[in-house]
Amino acid sequence: MHMYKGHARAYTNIALIKYWGKADQQLILPMNNSLSLTLDAFYTETSVTFSSEFSEDQFYLDHQLQDKKATDKISRFLDLIREKAQSQLFAKVDSQNFVPTAAGLASSASGLAALAGAASAALGLSLEEKELSRLARRGSGSACRSVYGGFAEWQKGDSDETSYAVPIVSNSFEDELSMIFVVVNDQQKDVSSRDGMQRTVETSAFYDGWLATVPQDLAKAHTAITDKDFQALGEVTEASALKMHGTTLAAAPPFTYWSAESMRAMNLVRQLRNQGLSCYFTMDAGPNVKILVQRKDEAALLGKLQEHFSADQLITAHAGPGIKITTKEVEA
């Protein structure tokens, strides 16, 4: 019997306007639109083979066979694809993260986009970008944006059919930007993005305040991209992150993803900005800080950061490409 092996490489993306909260947990429909930049420095490579020889799904991450809990999560996602392709075959998933896993560096975005791409290709589905984005969304919300290179917007929609990401017309503004990652901790976080946002939606008194200002922040980001206005894009990026992180402090029980080191990095960004170096920070569900800077100022910023952080804590990224999928015919 002939089967296909699917392979995909997907790059991580960092949201400038954050996704924070679900309207539907099961379908992963978000409460608000989000806007991101796909990056070239971090990515996931995933291969998927389906075969009648397999009697269960197997999931290897970074060459380690994963336990039942992690594998069940993958199986539930593969079920969506099996249903679409009308297949009952089990799969072997072999994934490698070129990004720390579950550290707030968006491994779920590259990881689930790569899995969606590789598994759908392996079962012979050749999905259009929009369909692939919808599918990736079911694995991890942020993954729907990693289908595209450069800037993307996840349009929240109100159903499985209408919630997916689209590329943003940018006149290559993304090529004028750099993002420097200040990695203060690459270990797995205590509160996953999924649990953190759910707790916030359900209990935070600040959540309504967050939601209320997203449309205007999104509009500002769009205008800034159209006008290639770095300062405007930076300001709204930093504001969106601060508001998102503000909501967690009012959750019950309260929590924060910030550490003392995160604060140190954020304060340094403010200080450098006061000294005339135009740069802005953002943070996700984890303590690591990402700094948006114009490419022309990248070296100057890196020089300043090196006075405070070691070289191996600083990773420079530029705009990255969309997902790359390949298939190979194999005996199965």
Query: Using omega within 30 degrees of 0 as the cis cutoff, is the peptide bond preceding 253 cis?
Result: yes
19 binds, among ligand DP6, Co ion, ligand ADP, none (CB under 5 to 8 A by kind): ligand DP6
Check: CB of residue 321 under 8 Å from CB of residue 151: no
115 binds, among ligand ADP, Co ion, ligand DP6, none (CB under 5 to 8 A by kind): ligand ADP
Residue number of the CB closest to ligand ADP reads 111
Looking up tokens 């707030």, which residue turns up?
104
Q: Candidates 91-99, 108-116, 237-245, 266-274 — which segment interacts with Co ion by CB under 5 A?
A: 108-116
By C-beta, is 170 or 237 nearer to ligand ADP? 237
Residue number of the CB closest to Co ion reads 108
141 binds ligand ADP per the rule CB under 6 A = no
285 binds ligand ADP per the rule CB under 6 A = yes
Of 34, 36, 38, 44, which one interacts with ligand ADP (CB under 6 A)? Answer: 44
By C-beta, is 220 or 245 nearer to ligand ADP? 245
116 binds ligand ADP per the rule CB under 6 A = no
* Cα dihedral 230→233→235→236 (10° resolution): 180
- Neighbour tally for 45: CB within 10 Å: 17
101 binds ligand ADP per the rule CB under 6 A = yes
Q: Phi/psi at 162 (nearest 5 deg)?
A: -105, 5
105 binds ligand ADP per the rule CB under 6 A = yes
Q: Minimal distance in Å, beta carbon 232 to ligand DP6?
A: 20
Q: Minimal distance in Å, beta carbon 52 to ligand ADP?
A: 24
**From its phi and psi, is residue 187 left (phi > 0), alpha (psi between -120 and 50) or beta?**
beta
By C-beta, is 72 or 227 nearer to ligand ADP? 72
133 binds, among Co ion, ligand ADP, ligand DP6, none (CB under 5 to 8 A by kind): none
What whole-number distance in Å separates Cα of residue 15 and Cα of residue 283? 9
Binding mask 55-84 for ligand ADP (x = CB under 6 A): ------x-----------x-----------
324 CB burial (10 A radius; 0-12, 13-18, 19+): middle
Check: CB of residue 147 under 8 Å from CB of residue 132: yes
Write out the two tokens for 83. 């249903």
Write out the two tokens for 45. 């490579």
3-class SS of residue 141:
helix
Give residue 197's identity as a one-letter amino acid code.
Answer: M
104 binds ligand ADP per the rule CB under 6 A = yes
What whole-number distance in Å separates Cα of residue 156 and Cα of residue 166? 11
Q: Give the footprint of ligand ADP on this chain (CB under 6 A).
A: 44, 61, 73, 95, 97, 101-109, 111-112, 115, 192-193, 284-286
